[in-house]
Amino acid sequence: MMHRLLQLQRRFLSSSKNAQKEQQWSVKQVTKSNFLESLEEIQKHIHDCHFITVSSQKTGGFSAPWRRVLPFDTPDMAYLKAKDAAERFQLFQFAVCPFTIESSKVVAYPYNFHLFPRDELNIGMPSYSFSCQTSYLMSMAREDFDFNACIYDGISYLSRVQESTAKDRIGNPISSHLVKSSSTSSVADVVFVERIKARVRHWRNACKEPNKGTDELLVKSLRKLILGGELYGSRPCMSIDVCNARQVQLVLEMLSEIFDDLVPLIIPDKSGGPKAVRVVFTSSPEDKNLLEKELENIEEEWNKQVRGFREVIDVLSASQKPIIAFDCLNEFTFVHSKFIAPLPSNLNEFMCSLRLVFPCILDVNNLLKEIGPVSRAKNLPAAMSYLKRQFFVPLDMEIPHQGISAEENERKKHGHNVLRITHLFAKLGSILKITHGSCKTMNGDIDKVMEDHGNIFYPCCSSLKEPIDRDILVFTNKTRKVSTEDLVFLWGFRVGMTAGVLKKILYASHDVFSEDFEVKLVDKSCAVVVFWTPGLAEVLLKVISSGGVGSSALMDMISEGLKAAGYEAYKRVCRMRLWELHLADSLDKALSDEYPRDWVANARSEPLGICWNNEFIIKLDDL
């Protein structure tokens, strides 16, 4: 008895200590004005850390209730909905927290970056416009979010693809990096090289001759016109027009083999292809080294200006450290869309592309599912409460001082979710035996612990490595598997009808409803019917397509506008991006003659996936 009391006392003291610590948590706020110095700091912290937590604040999450990820969505459908949100909304804050775990101590370095997709280069990127969801903006306003600071001092960014496009449009000279070609030179190649070699030699000799005071202005102008002389800064240079990458290769090889005092620069055209090779003359080896250093500095400054916040994403990727996040499907569709490239058309391609950038991502939502009843918790406080009751995990959270005054920390409490996720992961990691030592084996491969938990995006609970079957999990009081072929979407019923009333009406309308079934409203316009007996969904669809023959009650409902469709129609809605405000309107479009009918035949050949678990998704908004 005494032992039990002491244990409860330790837990109480630990809980009180953690509550006090959370009130003192400080997150460094980063804007355009202090971005460069913060970038240097976080690079060091990322290099030294064990894990990295990320969390973001978006301008919205979904533009209609049915476009949220729902219990009957297959992994592919869930991805298409997340893709739509990522392409529609923007990121206003992105928090990054490198941290280490040693025994029961967590040392964290949280940063909250304020972002805004400003067109810094006047080229229409990263974004002309974006959508906002009023509830999200109201939530940010309640937290005293400074929208003026976000717009005027937020950090802009370009994705990797947008950066490449920007360089092509602006056409800045690019330092050349010669890669020897193994292909045999043709006669045309030899003629081209000899002609360019003679021209470069004459120009170089003219540059090396001392200037003669007797040269008149006209003579200098003629020499410049004939030899093609220009200036790069204070150094003489000339341009060699090229038609393709092969000619660029030939020019670079010729210059490297014959001339050691010339520095070539590639000039791109607006389409991104090479337009010319600019050759700069240097007066000495020291001058050549100085020019190359200048070019490196110019390129580095240009990259920082163009990439903006994406420099942080590139540092995260280069570190190859495990990334911790919450609701990863939603989080990383935004990351991929804004900072890497446009989102692929399907989930498999998205996961392959993402793993090239972040090889190991751990979803806290997925880890929570591994601990019995905690997976049914409705919010983070409930999950933390369960962990405290069932597991004694003493944990000390230390956030070293980062030059943040107490007044500033009290005034700006943005980005604290990243610390809550870090704290929760540390507890789960202790329970599930996930440590930084288990991240990689001696040969650098992800070990079994990380393989079991990594790159599984809850609510898409099926792993891409596992065989895909036809079952999904449907939300009821008890989790039950059902085939997507046993789902029927109904719409056209009276406005304002509840799921319970609709179920009673259906129960009395036809014998097909004599077996056990469930009815759930997807939105105000549409409901989904789940049959627990295989084959009944197909029977219902045939009855409704025949006009309800044999059932006067069902005939009356059909005459009033009741319609029905199977899961294939819903898949068609998502894949064809028929994102109307109401699901009923989207289904009507999907079944209309406006779209090709052969799509259905092609879609049926694709395997149906395992849907995400129907257990609650724990939302940070519930905090």
Q: What is 333-346 written as a DSSP string?
A: HHHIIIII-SPPSS
Comparing 516 with 297, the larger pLDDT belongs to 516
Q: How many CA atoms lie within 13 A of 158 on its CB side?
A: 21
> SS3 string of 258-305?
HCCCEEEEEEECCCCCEEEEEEEECCCHHHHHHHHHHHHHHHHHHHHH
pLDDT at 169 over 80: no
User: What are the pLDDT digits (tens) for 423-432?
Assistant: 989 988 888 8
- The DSSP bridge partners found for residue 230 are 237
Q: Which of 150-154, 199-203, 407-411, 547-551 has the lowest mean pLDDT?
A: 407-411
Domain locations in the chain?
2-158+312-453, 174-307, 471-606
The yes-or-no verdict on residue 187 having pLDDT over 80 is: yes
In the predicted model, what is the mean pLDDT of the chain?
78
Question: Which range (213-227, 341-355, 394-408) has the least confidence?
Answer: 213-227
Pairwise pLDDT comparison (267 vs 82), residue with the higher score:
82
- Cα 2 to its chain centre, rounded Å, is 52
Q: What angle do CA 412, 415, 418 make, to 5 degrees?
A: 145
**How high is the pLDDT of residue 607?**
36
Cis amide leading into 322 (omega within 30) = no
Q: Is the dihedral of CA 249, 251, 254, 255 positive or negative?
A: negative
Determine the pLDDT at residue 445. Answer: 47
Average pLDDT of span 499-519: 90
Instruction: Say whether pLDDT at 231 is over 80.
Output: no
Asked whether the CA dihedral 18, 21, 23, 28 is positive or negative, the reply is: negative
Given a cut of 80, whether residue 467 has pLDDT beyond it is no
Asked whether residue 446 carries a pLDDT value surpassing 90, the answer given is no
Mean pLDDT of 104-130: 83
pLDDT for residue 332 is more than 90:
yes
Q: Is the pLDDT of residue 448 over 70?
A: no
Mean pLDDT of 468-488: 64
| Banded model confidence at residue 601, pLDDT cuts 50, 70, 90 | very low
277-314 pLDDT, tens digit each: 888 888 888 888 888 888 877 777 777 777 889 999 99
Q: What is the pLDDT of residues 27-41, one digit of tens each?
A: 999 999 999 899 999
Split at pLDDT 50, 70, 90, the class of 393 is confident
Confidence band of 530 (pLDDT split at 50, 70, 90): very high
With a pLDDT cut of 70, the percent of the chain lying above it is 73
pLDDT for position 468: 38
- Whether residue 404 is predicted with pLDDT greater than 90 in this model: the reply is no
CA 278/CA 241 separation, integer angstroms: 9
Q: Above 50 in pLDDT, residue 464?
A: no
Domain 471-606, CATH class in plain words: alpha beta
Average pLDDT over residues 580-588: 93
CB 61 within 8 A of CB 89: yes
Q: Take residue 518 and report the two structure tokens written for it.
A: 């469930």
Q: What is the C-alpha to C-alpha distance for residues 623 and 615, in angstroms, rounded to an integer?
A: 18
pLDDT for 405 beyond 50: yes
Q: Which residues contact 367 (CB under 8 A, 6 or more apart)?
A: 425, 428, 432, 434, 453
CATH placement of domain 2-158+312-453: 3.30.420.10
CB neighbour class for 399 (10 Å; exposed up to 12, middle 13-18, buried from 19): buried
Q: Is the pLDDT of residue 69 over 80?
A: yes
Strand partners for 235: 232
Q: Residue 223: its pLDDT value, please?
A: 54
Q: Which of 224-238, 251-265, 353-367 has the lowest mean pLDDT?
A: 224-238
Q: Pick 228 or 555 by higher pLDDT.
A: 555
